Structure 1
Amino acid sequence: MNSRQLNTQEYAPFYSQYIKALGEVDLNEVLETSLKDLITTLENLHEEKLTYRYAEGKWTIKELVQHIIDAERVLSYRALRFSRNDATELPGFDEDWYVTNSNGNERDIKDILQELIHVRNSTILLFKSFKQEILLIIGTASNSDMTVRALGFIIAGHQIHHLRIIKEKYL
């Protein structure tokens, strides 16, 4: 499944930055390679760098990674619900509230990265389990329609977007 197959009706405009960040990629491949890129970038950073804020009110690297994990869980859950033809409209979530309540800065980075690896591997297996027709199922979340496949690309693009921010603002 290639990102260029998506059309803009498959996701809300809010997510377009994540889709555009991908370029032309295969979903399963980008889910695996983007995880490796993030782990390689973060695994040897010192605590001072991991808890650094480049500006007042901005998240630390630990908080950013916890945010990536939380968002991936929410988006994967949406994909699961939609893939099972669950027509229940799903609510949004407040990412700032999640980060504030995540306890990210008090956690060991090795534990955070291990959690990310497990969540991503679960996401990869979930999307590999979907047949082509399942990927095209449409559901509603945050008052916007989206397809199952768009959610997979949003997960990958969201993580790539934040890795880019980490490299530009923190390292």
Structure 2
Amino acid sequence: MTNERYPIGQYESPEIITQEIRDNWIQDISTFPARLKEVVESITEEEQQLTYREGAWSIRRLVHHIADAQLNVYIRIKLALTEEKPTIKPFEENGWIALADSNIKFASSLSIIEGLHTRLSYLLKNLNEEQLQKTFIHPDTGIQTVEKTIGFCVWHVNHHLAHIKNALAKRNS
């Protein structure tokens, strides 16, 4: 049986991050919007309310959360690249998802994700080794590198894509 909460497992950063791993991560970031759209573009309003487990966010809220989280990732990376070890502000995801804009149709968040991933993948393809090792300070998890943030970013979007697929699979069971 798969773990409903962590259907692709919990995030584990590779000890050594090679160019091949980074290239795969960046490719994953660039293709994510199309992969997400393929899964959600034809679902009904009613299906947008499905959840992958009791008490979990709906598909609609998951899509909005992905947009919120990716905006934060993008800002964290840009801050790390332009400032000396900035301390970032974490966002309270449960608070953000409780705001009114999480109730609208998710088309706007799909647009955010598409545009943001286009910019993010282009930026990441053009970073040098020194830039990949730039850091920011996360108050909860400590010092994070740009490089490791890329890996977490990829895990996070794929983690929630699996949640969405699992919720849709439940409609047929």
User: Larger helix proportion, structure 1 or 2?
Assistant: 1
User: Which amino acid counterpart does residue 145 of structure 1 have in structure 2?
Assistant: I
Q: Does 1:59 align with 2:57?
A: yes
Q: Does 1:26 align with 2:24?
A: yes
User: Which amino acid counterpart does residue 33 of structure 1 have in structure 2?
Assistant: T
**Distance of 1:56 and 1:147 partners within structure 2:** 35
More displaced, 157-166 or 140-149? Answer: 140-149
User: Which amino acid counterpart does residue 95 of structure 1 have in structure 2?
Assistant: E
Does structure 2 conserve the Cα–Cα contact (< 8 Å) formed by 1:18 and 1:161? no
Q: Structure 1 runs of 4+ off > 3 angstroms? A: 53-57
Partner of 2:152: 154
- TM-score normalized by structure 2? 0.77
- The percentage of aligned residue pairs carrying the same residue is 23
Residue 65 of structure 2 aligns to a residue in which SS? helix
Q: 1:112 aligns with which of 104, 109, 113?
A: 109
RMSD (Å) for aligned C-alpha atoms: 2.1
- TM-score normalized by structure 1? 0.78
Q: Deviations over 1:53-92 (max 9, x none)?
A: 4555421111101101111111111111111243232222
Partner of 2:16: none
The unaligned stretches of length 5 or more in structure 2 are: 1-8, 14-20
**Distance of 1:96 and 1:48 partners within structure 2:** 22
Residue 139 of structure 1 aligns to a residue in which SS? strand
The unaligned stretches of length 5 or more in structure 1 are: 1-15
Partner of 2:40: 42
Q: Deviations over 1:97-138 (max 9, x none)?
A: 010115222x23333312221121122122123212100112
Partner of 2:125: 128
